[in-house]
Amino acid sequence: MQTRRSTRVSQSVKVTTEAQADIDAPRPAKRLKTAAAVKEIAHSDALATNSAASSSRQEPKRQRKTKAKPEEPKPEDFPARAESLWKVGVHVSAAGGVENAVPNAAKLGANSFALFLKSQRKWTSPALTEHSIKAFKARLESFGYSPAHVLPHGSYLINLGNPDPEKREKSYECFLDDLQRCELLGLELYNFHPGSTVGQATRSESIALISASLNRAHKATQSVVTVLENMAGAGNIIGATFEDLGDIVRGVEDKTRVGVCLDTCHLFAAGYDIRTKEGWQKTMDDFDAQVGLPYLRGMHLNDSKALLASKRDRHENIGMGHLGLAAFHHILTDTRLHGLPLTLETPSFEVEDVWRKEVEVLNRLSALTAPEGQAVGWAQEMAEEVRTAVQYASSGKDAKEKGKRTVKKRGRRDVDDEEEEEEGHECDH
């Protein structure tokens, strides 16, 4: 009995062990498949390695392209400028650096120029670089421009007449930054819009605030002359009358640091009729009585789209507005304006030929010594030259604009030109 049971157990253990061994042993088919898979992976890896090595040999590493340094503009490559005691010029672009304003003026034949020293619609801007400062000074000298014939324009945001202390301080900081930029560039003049009451102060109160801000800025800087611009007179704007300008000047302690720039469009819009020689003379007499001719440090030469005394600031190309080209003959034959920067702020339609033609025509006007009647006739002929240049430029721009389908809407407000937007920034904020 015991022997049979032992035999049975022994046989059972033997069977179990053999079965387990059979399970653990790899099957021939599985072994072949595994080997094939390993071989295939190894082959793929080898191909990839060879391909990468081949690619590395065939395609050398690309070198970074560096922008070529732009060639320095040479005065001899630019057109000769007219020799004249009346320094006719243009407000030019300073995009890419203030130093670019110099050749931009030279290619237009300008004997003076205006520019923005930073964005005119931002409170703060990056500082001038050492390169831009050195390049601006070097180009000014090489192109033969005097610092006295450069009239930088201030930010449209500045309102030194704002009765709100916090807002006025913000304007002052922006204003002071502009003056410091002028000093870094070696410039003598700085033109700005006086300010506004914003409907929260009397005119005399805002005028006193403007004078006080100028006194403070003069003490913080060395020599730049702060040049007030006469305004068209819309809303609460200060500076449309010679009386306003005179009151500001009288409140300034250092009279050597303050001046006035007369804008012809603004004069006309404010009610000063300068269309005739008699009208121009009367306007200058009024200016001398209220402000003083020694304070006149520059002019902006613009025709007017708007009527006399309209209080609307709408610049038009020379000879194409309500002033007419004859009005500019009176200005450009007045010896009291010798050596002053007389800069255009007219529409260019992004075509330089418009400004180039206007500069040329104004220089020719300054050389006219014919009797009044004959000069008017010649002026009309010259106005046609300007009109032709403007029509050509504007038609090209119109065609370009029609091709664009992404025109930005600017509300329901009808905007004539960029000067429309500027009026909205006449410090009424």
Q: How confident is the prediction along the chain (429 residues), in pLDDT tens digits per residue?
A: 444 444 444 444 444 444 444 444 444 444 444 445 545 545 555 544 554 444 445 555 566 666 667 789 999 999 999 999 999 999 999 999 999 999 999 999 999 999 999 998 899 999 999 999 999 999 999 999 999 999 999 999 999 999 999 999 999 999 999 999 999 999 999 999 999 999 999 999 999 999 999 999 999 999 999 999 999 999 999 999 999 999 999 999 999 999 999 999 999 999 999 999 999 999 999 999 999 999 999 999 999 999 999 999 999 999 999 999 999 999 999 999 999 999 999 999 999 999 999 999 999 999 987 666 666 778 788 999 999 999 999 987 654 554 443 334 333 333 333 333 344 443 333
Characterize 274-293 residue by residue with b for buried, 16 or more Cβ atoms within 10 angstroms of its Cβ, and e for exposed: beebeebeebbeebeeebbe
Does a structural domain hold residue 251?
A: yes
Q: How many domains does the structure of the chain reveal?
A: 1
3-state secondary structure of 291: coil
HEC string of 309-378 equals CCCCCCEECCCCCCCCHHHHHHHCCCHHHCCCEEEECCCCCCCHHHHHHHHHHHHHHHCCCCCHHHHHHH
Strands 87-91 and 112-114: parallel
- Number of Cβ within 10 Å of residue 86's Cβ equals 24
What pLDDT score does 121 carry?
87
Q: Which residues pair with 310 in a beta bridge?
A: none
What pLDDT score does 378 carry?
80
Strands 237-238 and 195-196: antiparallel
3-state secondary structure of 265: helix
Q: Which residues pair with 263 in a beta bridge?
A: 300
Active site residue 22: no
What pLDDT score does 59 carry?
54
CATH number, position 233: 3.20.20.150
d(CA 214, CA 138): 30
Active site residue 177: no
> Pick the catalytic residue: 188, 244, 313, 419?
313
CA torsion through residues 9, 11, 14, 18, sign = negative
What pLDDT score does 418 carry?
33
Angle, helix 130-142 to helix 165-185, in steps of 10 degrees: 60
> Pick the catalytic residue: 91, 153, 322, 329?
153
What pLDDT score does 303 carry?
99
Q: Hey, what are 380's tokens? A: 């009309």
> Pick the catalytic residue: 257, 266, 297, 322?
266
What pLDDT score does 70 carry?
78
Does a structural domain hold residue 254?
A: yes
Does a structural domain hold residue 44?
A: no
Scanning 199-308, the segments in alpha helix (DSSP H) are 203-220, 242-250, 264-269, 277-290
Tell me which residue of 288, 293, 389, 380 sits closest to 347, measured CA to CA.
Answer: 389
Active site residue 153: yes
> Pick the catalytic residue: 145, 156, 190, 295?
156
Does a structural domain hold residue 227?
A: yes
CA angle 35-37-39, nearest 5°? 70
d(CA 128, CA 107): 24
Does a structural domain hold residue 27?
A: no
d(CA 401, CA 399): 5
Active site residue 218: no
> Pick the catalytic residue: 81, 181, 193, 356?
193
51 burial level (CB within 10 Å; 0-12, 13-18, 19+):
exposed
Phi, psi at residue 343, to the nearest 5°? -105, 140
> Pick the catalytic residue: 99, 188, 244, 263?
263
Active site residue 425: no
Q: Which domain holds residue 141?
A: 75-398
> Pick the catalytic residue: 178, 345, 419, 426?
345
What pLDDT score does 67 carry?
65
What is the reported pTM?
Answer: 0.79
Report whether 304 contacts 269 (CB < 8 A).
Answer: yes
Q: Hey, what are 412's tokens? A: 């329901």
208 burial level (CB within 10 Å; 0-12, 13-18, 19+):
middle
Does a structural domain hold residue 292?
A: yes
d(CA 289, CA 414): 39
Does a structural domain hold residue 22?
A: no
Active site residue 315: yes
Active site residue 121: yes
What pLDDT score does 379 carry?
78
Does a structural domain hold residue 121?
A: yes
What pLDDT score does 408 carry?
41
